[in-house]
Amino acid sequence: MFLLVNLRKEERSLLYYITAFLAVGVLVLYLGQPEFNTAYELALSSGYKLPFWWFVVLLSIGTMTAFWLVSVYWRVAGFKCDPYLMPITASLTALGLIFLFRLRPQYAERQFAWLLLGLLALVMVTTLLRKMDWLADYKYIYVAAGVILLVLPIFFGREQYGARSWLDLGILQIQPSEFVKLLLVTFLASFLAENRRVLSTGNDQILGISIPGIREYGPLVVMWGISLLILVFQKDLGTALIYFCTFLAMVYAATARMFYVFVGMLLFFFGGTVAYHIFSHVQARVDIWLNPWAYISDKGYQIVQSLFAIGSGGLFGSGLGQGLPGLIPAVHTDFIFSAIVEELGLLGGCAVLVLYMCFIFRGLMIALSCRDDFSALLATGFTALMGLQTFIIIAGVIKLLPMTGVTLPFISYGGSSLVANFVLLGLLLNISHEVNGGNETEY
């Protein structure tokens, strides 16, 4: 009981600081920064009717109240989860809402609604799925469900930003691939835990290298094929890259053999090269990445404006509400990190990276504390998924990689991504609860 009280007390003390941070951010905008007023006037001219003062209540009070209620519920329910992951997530979410509030006020309200749905999903996951060992028994059901969810947008989906990965349900649109990521990690954790010994030692010899049989390394080829199919039919480079890199990270974690990573990367680069020469949308993404200045008035305008925004931010930034990030198309989704760096500077951008690094560190600590292979691989997979998605989108924004269209976790606008990430958080916290509940010590 002492451990439980201590964990929740530490969690709530961190939430105090995040509440103050969110309140100050919203207050700065509320006091009438010129660029924010322009954004709000544009929202009103497009038919938006939410009173200006309601934003202050909605964001600063409503958001943190929701996080506080979850923390209180966990204490009452005896949930002994990691005390740092929730505050880290709350910090990222608060920052995202502040910048959505500043860039696209109408999207901030929608994101708040998705946030409440995500927190509800978090509570449900941490209540109904606390014991997770039974999940390992249904790995092929996850495969079937994942394939169905991936195929649906190909035939019934709606194309946005060049990718056909959305399902239009009338009142809302969802991106099934965001939830397939969770199914993928759960399947791989179960499969790799079951076949870990064979995958690590191998039972065949090729050129003096021990490798497993086709039954064991078959999923490597299947994952390569699925990633290429997503790239070809959904035109979704980001999702394909995240799926495959997460797979390789989990295989390496299970076997500690670089052979699989090397072969996997060769397969992916081979498939990507073929796709570049066959499919025009892949070629366009790569060409813009290599030389966006040649397409500055057309397809390269977005990334060029992103680079200008980041460069103009300097060390300390132009100040919240003082920059011009609105010149970047889709700044509230793919390029919100550019807006953060422009107005909060290099230091603000580094602070965001530190938050993600802390999330990854805590996730890996949870994985190292697990007492069974399935839980350890599950925690590793979820942590790798979060880290890879963050790296891929930020690398695209700064032109280290081609733009992929994935969202920055917990910060960018996107309902499917936000809810899926809260489910991921809930599953990771469940694993930490098992660790804390078993040995009554903090890791």
DSSP notation for 104-172: -HHHHHHHHHHHHHHHHHHHHHHHH-S--GGGGGGHHHHHHHHHHHHHHHHHH-EEETTEEEEEE-SS-
> Cβ(392)–Cβ(383) under 8 Å?
no
By C-alpha distance, which of 397, 391, 237, 240 is closest to 333? 397
Single-letter amino acid code for the residue at 161:
Y
Task: Tell me the longest C-alpha to C-alpha distance in the chain.
Answer: 71
Sign of the alpha-carbon dihedral angle for 40, 44, 48, 50:
positive
pLDDT value for 49? 54
List of the chain residues with pLDDT < 70: 1-8, 30, 32-58, 157-165, 170, 201-221, 223-228, 230-235, 438-443
By C-alpha distance, which of 171, 19, 37, 166 is closest to 97? 19
Q: Which two tokens stand for residue 72?
A: 């209180």
pLDDT value for 387? 95
> CA separation (Å) from 354 to 92, 175, 360, 364?
11, 28, 10, 15
pLDDT value for 377? 95
The CA distance from 258 to 71, in Å, is 41
Single-letter amino acid code for the residue at 189:
A
Looking at the chain, the number of H-run helices and the number of E-run strands are 17, 5
pLDDT value for 55? 63
By C-alpha distance, which of 359, 437, 434, 443 is closest to 4? 437
> Cβ(435)–Cβ(390) under 8 Å?
no
Other beta carbons within 10 angstroms of residue 35's beta carbon come to 20
By C-alpha distance, which of 54, 83, 85, 63 is closest to 19? 63
Q: Which two tokens stand for residue 54?
A: 């309601």
Sheet of 163-168: strand order equals: 158-160, 163-168, 173-174
pLDDT value for 439? 44
pLDDT value for 110? 86
pLDDT value for 433? 92
Tokens 């530490």 — which residue? 10
Q: Which two tokens stand for residue 99?
A: 């910048």
By C-alpha distance, which of 56, 75, 55 is closest to 15? 75
By C-alpha distance, which of 63, 99, 91 is closest to 357? 91
List, in sequence order, the alpha helices (H) in 160-255. Answer: 176-194, 196-201, 214-229, 237-255
Element (H, E) at 174: strand 173-174
What is the CA angle 134-140-142, rounded to 5? 75
By C-alpha distance, which of 84, 105, 85 is closest to 40? 105
